[in-house]
Amino acid sequence: MADFMGSSVVGYEEKLGVIIDEQKLEVVWGPENVRDYHVKSSDVNRPGLALNGFYDCFDANRIQLLGNAEFAYLNSCTSAERQEKFNALCAQGIPAVIITRGLPAFEELLRAAKEYATPILRTQEHTARFQAGLIANLNVKLAPRITRHGVLVDVYGVGILIMGESGIGKSETAIELVKRGHRLIADDAVEIKRVSEKTLVGSAPDIIKHYIELRGIGIVDIQRLFGVGAVEDTEKIDLVIKLEPWDKERSYDRLGDEDERTDILGIEVPTITIPIRPGRNLAIILEIAAMESRQKANGYNTIDEFNKRLEEHIKAEQEND
């Protein structure tokens, strides 16, 4: 089984300014460099236990949300108690406090924020809805990631990562697939993110997005040549296709019963190795691979069905004897 874990894996972080813009947050208070603060955790916390003084399992890397429940509790406290609680919270070095539902900021919170340089932000959205959306957004932005040499295409809704040595025909195969109505995501460099425990998403670096390099021709703009329907910004990676020169000494899988997989960021992706020699139509082969992948995802396995038919045939022959 191939392994990508030895590649350069980036632990990513995002600037708070990007989150402010994308989530349309109001800056209630923040230091001059508030937009340059960094968020390193995709988890978001509602600090009920922390406000009651329990910090044993507190993760200071998380953004903290204050909604109706927290405000109801804090309104039951005296001003001195609120000041003590907010001081303790902001002293943890948290990246930001976000107030939901457009609620007003406590004066005690603003004093603590200024003392500990903690940004205070606000949204008009309901707490649960905002929290779910923010976590989903951060899961993508802060996902572990690597960059690999290859081509990523969408074939019949299946994300196929084509790999192989330089010059073996990855880009030419991608062009042929685009001509047949499929879509290009990335050529040459594929940025891969693990956005969940089961899902990998690939995209192209911005500088080469929607471009393909063809030796002898140069850089080709796929979107301009084939239209916006020929490209896509991101796609899940469902299948890895490895292209390699035909080796007559090697025994290749002819039945489809080998379970080859590639480990990418801890997720095992089904893998097919395709030997290359003149006369093979790679675009059609990849289309068949994509359709087979979809059938397996829907619970149908061709080799299992073939084996059942073979067993029934052998049994029938034995009964006739």
Residue 229 C-beta-side C-alpha neighbours within 13 Å: 4
Determine which one of 62, 122, 148, 170 is catalytic.
Answer: 170
β-sheet with 120-122: strand ranges across: 26-29, 120-122, 97-99, 63-66, 44-45
Q: How far apart are CA 61 and CA 39, in angstroms?
A: 7
Determine which one of 38, 126, 129, 149 is catalytic.
Answer: 149
The answer to whether 119 and 97 have CB atoms below 8 angstroms apart is yes
Q: Contacts by 316-320 with C-beta closer than 8 Å and gap 24+?
A: none
**Closest to 98 in 3D by CA, of 62, 123, 133:** 123
Q: How far apart are CA 274 and CA 254, in angstroms?
A: 11
Active site residue 170: yes
Q: Which amino acid is at 234?
A: T
The answer to whether 295 and 287 have CB atoms below 8 angstroms apart is no
Active site residue 149: yes
Active site residue 304: no
Determine which one of 198, 248, 250, 254 is catalytic.
Answer: 254
Determine which one of 114, 188, 209, 280 is catalytic.
Answer: 188
Helix (H, G, I), strand (E, B) or coil at 111: helix
* CA dihedral angle for residue 13, residue 99, residue 109, residue 51, rounded to 10 degrees: -80
Active site residue 126: no
Length of the chain: 321
Q: How far apart are CA 97 and CA 113, in angstroms?
A: 9
| Active site positions, annotated | 149, 170, 188, 254
